[in-house]
Structures are given as structure tokens and as C-alpha cells.
A = this chain, B = another copy of it.
């Protein structure tokens, strides 16, 4: 079947950014320059022109910018995204007969026989029909005039007339008749009758700055009661240093300290009532005592479910007060949304059809045979009332959004259908595009990436299990470059309540420093689970396990935040370095530099100069060995650092304040585990 219009001669291909044939929006951040590229070509020798059209959902019409030919049929254009939320773009390209005519006329004029030339070859060139070409040009400009607006029409008509007049004069040697501004004027009104456009508009999603650059601090509010209070319970074998149940008010008292460390997101595990049925005791025991508080992830009791607050933490008024206090301290509160139920959750009786029933009448608890998790009922997304279930889950987010929460850490999203997340997040983002969703999916790569494509703003990563140089380098090259970086934003955690990695169990303080420095400099978003992390908590429940002994998941802990060995000062310094160095606030410039020692890893990040600040280039060199000093030669990719070949340049170690003079690409480092790393700011580069 013939196309509707066979005269659209221009082909548009390879349009970037584009994910999954335009089904998945490419992700960018507020203020980014968006570079759009495409292969654009037509048959024959006629000139092609193209322009990029783009708009935010709230814009009444398309904005437009001309595209530039890069050669070999590749074209590009850029625009800045100045609003968060959904954007779209398309390309319009056409054969431009006026542009072709201008270029051809110049070639004809250059090839005119010149009777005055001393060169006989120039005198004897064949004639070039210039008057005819000028007449053709006049017709083209008349057609342009007919499309023009306002004063441009008479101006263009007079250009056409003067071309026609020139065609009527016999001249031995014609000159090019148009000025640059006349060419520009005519180019303003291209003939788009046969213009080609992309088959569909391509989507972009723009997140706010915090989605790109964030520092998370996780704590269990029930473990925040001050250590020195007289109302603490008596010690037992399992809880040698017991504390009363902390409250939102206790959390508030810690906010200045957490803010002073430089964090901007305070993340709380689930704050809902905890079920009684099959409650777990301390150290995940299935035989809890009457005073055991249970796991915050066993959500729901007669006191309520996902829209209720554990009475021991406080009231809704206390919660609202906490949200305000977090803001007042320059931070945001992140809640943990875990879509699963304790057997006591109100949904179990209100919506029994949202759970799987077994032939014996019981409800299917969570299982990974032969393991049983009887304190948790998973939701059955194959229920015939899936629509009702989806609506209720979405309303859980909306409930907390309505109380001022804009950041959610989502527990195990990979055990809920991807179609649900796609719908749920886009529904929530429609009214509140600034909401950040952190995906806590530790699973296979396709599934993790699939969640990111369906709207999760940030994601947990494999960072925790990437400890050697080659695996760190391969993984971070994968996730910080397109296509992955077009939709996936990593958030690095050296520890979580679920993961005490072996390196921390055995590596001592140097291991904690190393993982912290890697997390804060490899990615612009990271988090720690504290105060466990800064206090160096490192004993597993049993050898070979990644579970903490006396895990806060199952019991209240009391922490001595005044411990002189706390890593808080280093954390504070690193967060300060991150805030003052734009290079560390994005991941896309990450570049690894070879080092001739497999225990030393080196990488750089850079941010271009802006009106407000010079270019910022950071080079990080980390000793991955927590036990011994390691030394070696770093082989710098000078181009990436903005340094000329054979140049001297100064590097300042932002961890120590020490300055070094370096030269050319090969430079020596020696790093003791107690120092762990250099975080160099490169001074005196060309761009500064």
C-alpha cells in the first residue's frame, strides 16, 4: 500500500535518547542540557534541514531549535529542561530547495567563465546559465514570501524582485546576490509541506535535583531513646544494654546531629503497627518473649496497617511535627513502603481475596521452600480484584504524600508485578512529579533494570558485593553509561540492616573507611544504615552470615553516638566534599584510570565550568587493601582531566588538605590503610 504522502523524502533514524522504541522515557535531571541526535538523510543531492521540537507537558505548544549537521548524515541539537516531570520531543526534517539553491548558485558562480582572468582555463569555462538560476531563485523566494508573516512578506518579495531584476541584466561576471541576513530571513519560513517527523513523540522524564544527588541516613526510630535516661529496662542476656522504645520525639532530638553530618534524607524503616502472630524475637528467633517488639516489616495489627502509625512511636501529630522538623533541618523524610502483611493486618479480614488461600482454609504465608516466613502474608497479585488491590496500594503512597512525604524507599519491589509499578508510579507522578522512589531490589539485572524503566527514581545496586577492582570497574562502567544510565540511577549502600558484608566483618576501621569513600565518590547518591555504620558494628549473627548479631530488625538497640571512634567526622568531611564539588554530584562523567597495582583503584569525575563556578575535576585513588600500605603508578587519562600532555599540575587532597605537584600522565601514590584514599581536586587545569 502506498503511503499517504509519497513526497516525504527525508528519513529519520537512530534517534537518541530513546529507550525501548520510545516506550520508556529517558531520565534526566532539572537543569540538564538534553542532547538529541539522529541520522537524517534524503535521496539525491538536495539539502536537508532539520529542527528539534520539544515541550514540557505544561507547555501550550512546541518549542523549536535548529539541528546541526555533524557530517555523515548525523545531526544534533540541545535544549535545557527547566521543569520537572514529563517532556517530549520530536524531529522535523525536510528537503530544503532554497538552501539547495543557495549552495548550487555559489558553485555555479565560482565556475563562471571569467573573461578578465589571466588564466586561459578560467576564461574558457563553459557558461553557467546564471540568469536562469536567478529566476528560479526568485520563484523560490516568492513562495517563501507567501508563507511569511508580518513585515517579512514585503521584505522577501523585494528580495525576489531584485533577483529577477539581476537576472534581466546581462553581466560578464555575476556576484552572489544575497546577504547573510537575507538568507536567514528566507530560512525562517521553510516549506514543511513534505516534512518528515518521527513516527511518535519521544518521552523524557525530568527529576528534581535530589533524585540525582542525595545522601541518605537510615535509622530505626525505636532505637533513638537517649542512652542516659533512667527509664531504660533491665539488662538481659540478649539485650545487655536495653533501651526503652524510641519515639518520633527522640528522633527529632537527633536531627541537628544528622544534618550536621551532611545528610539530606533521613530514612525510617516501616513506622506502622507490628503484628503479633508468628512474631520474631531477637536474632530472628521464632520463640519471642512477651517484650519482644517484632520486625517493623511485619506490618499490621489490630491497631492498623499501612496507613497507621505504631502507637509507641507517636501520634499523627507527632509525625507531622517530625516531618516539619526534618525540613527545618534542611533534610527530607523518607518512609519505607513494604507491601506485605502480618497475619494481623486489617486487610486480611477486610480483603481476604487479596491473599492466596490453601485447600485447608489457611492463608498462604511467604515461603521459599523449604524456608517459611509465617509472620508474613504476601499479597496475591493474581487476585480477581487486582484493580481494587492496585488502587489501595497506590492510596498508601498518596496517604503519606498528603502528609508531606516526598521520598519513599520501596521494599522488595521485585516481588510485585512490574505493570503495577508502572501504573502506580505514573499515577502518583501525575500530580506530584517530585516524588522520589528508591527501589530496594536485590535481584537479577534485567529485573532491577526493569523496575527502573517503570519509574523507580533510584535503585539499590550490587555495590555491596563488588569489592575487587575489576568487578567495581566493570559494574560502574555498566551502570554509569548509556543505555543503562539513561534510566537507572544507582544509590550505594556500604551496609543495610540486611547486609553486613564480609569485608566489614573482618576489615576493621580501614574497611569501613574504604567502603564509605567508594560509596560517596563513585555515585552521587548513597546512604548508610546508622549509627551501626559509623560506630563500626561488625559482628554477624554467625560466621558466614551477612545478618547482624542483635539486629535492630528484631530488637531495640541503644547506641553511643558520642563514641570517640565514631566515623562521623569522616562522614561529615565526605559529605562536605560532595556538596562543594559539583563533579561528585552526577555519575555520568565517571572514568577509571589504570593503576599498576590491583589493590589500588583510581577514577575521576568532572563538572564543566558554569557562569557561577569554574570546571571541577576530582580524582579519587583508593587503597582496596584494608591491611597493608599499597603503592603504584597511576596512568592518568589526561584528556578526561583537562590536562595537557607534559604539563605540571597541582592536586589538593581534600581529605588532608595536602598539596602535591604532579606531572604528565604517570604519577606515584602510596596509601596506608589508615588513610585509605586520596580525594584529589585537580587545580590549574585548562578549564579553570
Q: Mark A1-44, 1 if CB is under 8 A from B, else 0.
A: 11100111101010000001110000000000000000101111
In the bound complex, how far is the Cα of B370 from the Cα of A105, in angstroms? 9
Q: Flag whether A417 is at the interface (Cβ < 8 A).
A: yes
A132 at the interface (CB under 8 A from B): yes
The residue from B105, B107, B419 contacting A9, defined by CB atoms under 8 A apart: B419
Selected contact of A45 from candidates B368, B418, B420, B446, CB within 8 Å? B368
Residues in A33-62 with C-beta less than 8 Å from chain B = 39, 41-45
A319 within 8 A of B: no
A639 to chain B, nearest CB (A): 23
Cβ contact within 8 Å between B390 and A6: yes
Which residues of chain B have C-beta atoms less than 8 A from A450's C-beta? 11, 13, 41
Among A379-387, A533-541, A565-573, the stretch that binds chain B is A379-387
Is the pair A3, B444 in contact by a Cβ cutoff of 8 Å? Answer: no
Q: Which of A401-426 contact B (CB under 8 A)?
A: 414-420, 423
Once the chains bind, are A73 and B446 in contact (CB under 8 Å)?
A: yes
Contact B417 A447 (CB under 8 A): no
CA distance A108 to B370 in the complex (A): 5
**CA–CA, A126 to B373, complex, Å?**
13
Task: With A43-B414, A382-B194 as known contacts, state yes or no: A6 contacts B132, CB within 8 Å.
Answer: no
List residues of chain B with CB within 8 A of the CB of A7: 381-382, 386, 417
A417 touches B9 (CB 8 A): yes
Chain A, 370-403, contact with B by CB distance < 8 Å: what is the 0/1 string? 1010000000011000110010000000000000
- Which residues of B are found within 8 Å of A386, using beta-carbon distances? 6-7
Q: With a CB–CB cut-off of 8 A, which chain B residues contact A414? A: 43-44
Residues of B within 8 A of A1 (CB): 423
By a CB distance below 8 angstroms, the chain B residues around A370 are 107-108, 110-111, 125-126, 128
Q: A residues 439-461 with Cβ under 8 Å of B?
A: 444-447, 450
The minimal Cβ–Cβ distance linking A337 to chain B, given in whole angstroms, is 16
Contact: B43 with A415, CB < 8 Å? Answer: yes
- Indicate whether A358 reaches chain B with its CB closer than 8 angstroms: yes
List which A104-152 residues lie within 8 A (CB) of chain B.
104-105, 107-108, 110-111, 125-126, 128, 132, 135-136, 139
Which one of B111, B128, B132 lies within 8 Å of A359 (CB-CB)? B132
Most interface-central of A13, A369, A414 (chain B CB within 10 A): A369
How many copies altogether?
A: 2
What residues of B have a CB within 8 angstroms of the CB of A3 in the complex? 419, 423
| Complex CA–CA separation, A108 to B372 (angstroms) | 11
Contact A444 B72 (CB under 8 A): yes
Given contacts A2-B390, A9-B419, A13-B20, contact A444 B73 (CB under 8 A): yes
Whether A360 is near chain B, meaning CB under 8 Å from some CB there, is yes
Q: How many angstroms between the C-alpha atoms of A104 and B39 in the bound complex?
A: 51
Q: Total interface residues on A, using CB and 8 Å?
A: 60
**Contact of A446 with B13 in the complex, beta carbons under 8 Å:** yes
- When distances are taken between beta carbons in the complex, the residues of chain B under 8 Å from A445 are 72-73
Would B21 and A447 count as touching, CB distance under 8 A? no
- Chain B min CB distance to A597 (Å): 30
Contacts of A21 in B (CB 8 A): 21-22
- CA–CA, A256 and B626, complex, Å: 80
A129 to chain B, nearest CB (A): 9
In the assembly, what is the distance between CA of A382 and CA of B44, in Å?
Answer: 12
Q: Quick check: B73 and A418 within 8 Å, CB to CB? A: no
The residues of B that contact A194 with a CB separation of less than 8 Å are 382
Shortest distance between the CB of A234 and any CB in chain B (Å): 33
Q: Point out the residues of chain B lying under 8 angstroms from A446, CB to CB.
A: 11, 13, 39, 41, 72-73
State A461–B111 Cα separation when bound (angstroms).
32
Q: A593 to chain B: closest CB distance in Å?
A: 27
Complex contact A369–B41 (CB within 8 A): no
Residues of chain B lying within 8 A (CB to CB) of residue A368: 45
- Chain B residues within an 8 Å CB radius of A110: 370
When distances are taken between beta carbons in the complex, the residues of chain B under 8 Å from A105 are 369
Most buried by B among A107, A417, A450: A417
* B residues near A381, Cβ cutoff 8 Å: 6-7, 9, 43
Provide the A463-487 mask, 1 if CB < 8 A to any CB of B, else 0: 0000000000000000000000000
Q: How far is the CA of A360 from the CA of B135 in the complex (A)?
A: 9
Q: List 13 A-B contacts (CB under 8 A).
A: A2-B390, A2-B423, A9-B382, A9-B417, A21-B21, A42-B417, A43-B381, A45-B368, A72-B444, A107-B370, A135-B359, A136-B358, A139-B359
